[in-house]
Amino acid sequence: MQGAPGEAGTAWGREGPNESADDLVVRWLSSAERASVRAIWQGLEKRVATVPLACTWDWTDAWLSQYGDLVPHRFAIGEAGDRPCGVALITNGVGRRRGPFLVRSLHLGTAGEPQGDSVFVEYNGVLVDPEHRVGFATALVRELHSNRGWHELVLDGFAPEDAEPFLAADPMFEANRMPSPTMDLRTAGSGDGDVLAVLKSGTRRKVRRSLEALGAVAMEWAETADDAFDILSELIELHQRRWTGVGEPGAFAKPRFVAFHRELVSRLLPTRRVILFRARTASETVGCLYHFVDRGRVLFYQSGLASYSDRRISPGFVTFALCMQECYERGLSEYDFLAGDSRYKRDLATGSGELIWATSRRPALRWHVLDRLATARRRLRADA
């Protein structure tokens, strides 16, 4: 796609309102009109009772500050009766390929970064008045389909209830549902307030065995910016040491990614929407955890853990168990490990939700070719 979104002559099509379902219109604002979008976005946030963290202006603006010059984007404003009722960030995916083909993708929300530089947004969505959820999704999908400059429309990390209006509006969406293991912290009340008591017996043994080997372990919960950045810095160091040690780049390898999270922490800490937690013995750090708080739920994002030659010690189990206990005592309702079916998540969870990644592809010869090649490869492997 040539040109930035919102510029004349691009594949985005015409600017201005477009009549759509339920008398709701979609108006487009370009990336250069971010100040106008901010006023609309923040006004709508004040009206909507509960807003997913990834749909807040704090999250979105932090992402735009770090990725806005890299990822082409613009904004869709839903209006009903000349009043904003919904707003969405729409991005053009950067460097997307499928096999030998370049893929022009559109994404809703803070997504579309180059592979290896993504924040991997989860509990993504659009900010919309509840009564206009279906109308805005229908109008937005219709507006996007009226333009021909893309191959794929992508929903990244949507909760099922937020994805559903879009899946209903476009039957071409193919949804990949990923488990999101969870721990209902409220169940600790049945165990005299002990989170460890409601975990699996094998997990309890690992935690207790680790604590016996480590001795006294102190907990730190960042209350100030200095504490938060100190824990975040050590988390990054531990995380990178572990992954580069096995030949992987690690999540914090890219400067943009680090800058995004440092900015996000500075924005979210004053309103207690971020948690940085550290477990330490008298001589060393056992582990650091980084979370977001979204509508009373704790969303685990990243960790940095020490390495031990003593196989009795499981630093991750200790750090997670202590952190979940502190979350319970601070009145938080659920600990969500986010997408992925890793063994440690299953061991520490007591339930599971799901998150959705969905793609709507326009019919094209390239997909037919790729499907035929994939079928041929499967047959070759089966015959080998």
* The pLDDT of residue 376: 61
- For residue 19, give every residue at least 6 positions away whose Cβ sits within 8 Å of its Cβ, in sequence order, or none: 25
Other beta carbons within 10 Å of 110: 28
Query: Which candidate, 1, 13, 7, places its Cα nearest to that of 143?
Result: 13
* The pLDDT of residue 370: 61
Answer for the pair 268, 274: CB distance below 8 angstroms, yes or no: yes
* The pLDDT of residue 4: 34
* The pLDDT of residue 384: 58
32-80 per-position pLDDT tens digit: 999 999 999 999 999 998 999 999 999 999 999 999 999 999 999 999 9
Q: What is the dihedral of CA 313, 315, 321, 322, to 10 degrees?
A: 110
pLDDT tops 60 at residue 22:
no
* DSSP at 124: B
322-364 per-position pLDDT tens digit: 999 999 999 999 999 999 888 999 999 999 999 999 999 987 6
pLDDT tops 70 at residue 269:
yes
Answer for the pair 29, 74: CB distance below 8 angstroms, yes or no: yes
197-219 per-position pLDDT tens digit: 999 999 999 999 999 999 999 99
Answer for the pair 160, 125: CB distance below 8 angstroms, yes or no: no
The dihedral region occupied by 272, where left means phi > 0, alpha psi between -120 and 50, and beta the remainder, is left
In the chain, % helix, strand, coil (3-state, to 5) comes to 40, 25, 30
Distance of CA 373 to the CA centre of its chain: 32
Query: 3-class SS at 150?
Result: coil
270-329 per-position pLDDT tens digit: 999 999 999 999 999 999 999 999 999 999 999 999 999 998 999 999 999 999 999 999
147-197 per-position pLDDT tens digit: 888 999 999 999 999 999 999 999 999 999 999 999 999 999 887 899 999
* The pLDDT of residue 232: 98
Among 22-26, 179-183, 221-225, 304-308, the minimum mean pLDDT is found in 22-26
- For residue 383, give every residue at least 6 positions away whose Cβ sits within 8 Å of its Cβ, in sequence order, or none: none
73-89 per-position pLDDT tens digit: 999 999 998 899 999 99
Q: What is the CA radius of gyration of the chain?
A: 23
β-partners of residue 279 are 219, 287
pLDDT tops 60 at residue 25:
yes
227-240 per-position pLDDT tens digit: 999 999 999 999 99
Lookup result for tokens 């370009």: 30
Domains of the chain: 18-172+362-383 (3.40.630.30), 181-351 (3.40.630.30)
pLDDT category of residue 116 using cuts at 50, 70 and 90: confident
Alpha helices in 48-128 (DSSP H): 57-67
* DSSP at 281: -
* The pLDDT of residue 322: 97
Answer for the pair 207, 344: CB distance below 8 angstroms, yes or no: no
Rounded to two decimals, what is the model's pTM?
Answer: 0.89
Q: Is the torsion defined by CA of 308, 310, 314, 319 positive or negative?
A: negative
* The pLDDT of residue 112: 97
* Residue 336: φ, ψ to 5°: -110, 120
* 365: enclosing H helix or E strand: helix 365-383
pLDDT tops 80 at residue 374:
no
Here the tokens at position 361 are 């592809």
* The pLDDT of residue 141: 97
Distance of CA 265 to the CA centre of its chain: 15
Answer for the pair 185, 195: CB distance below 8 angstroms, yes or no: yes
Arithmetic mean of pLDDT, 11-31: 64
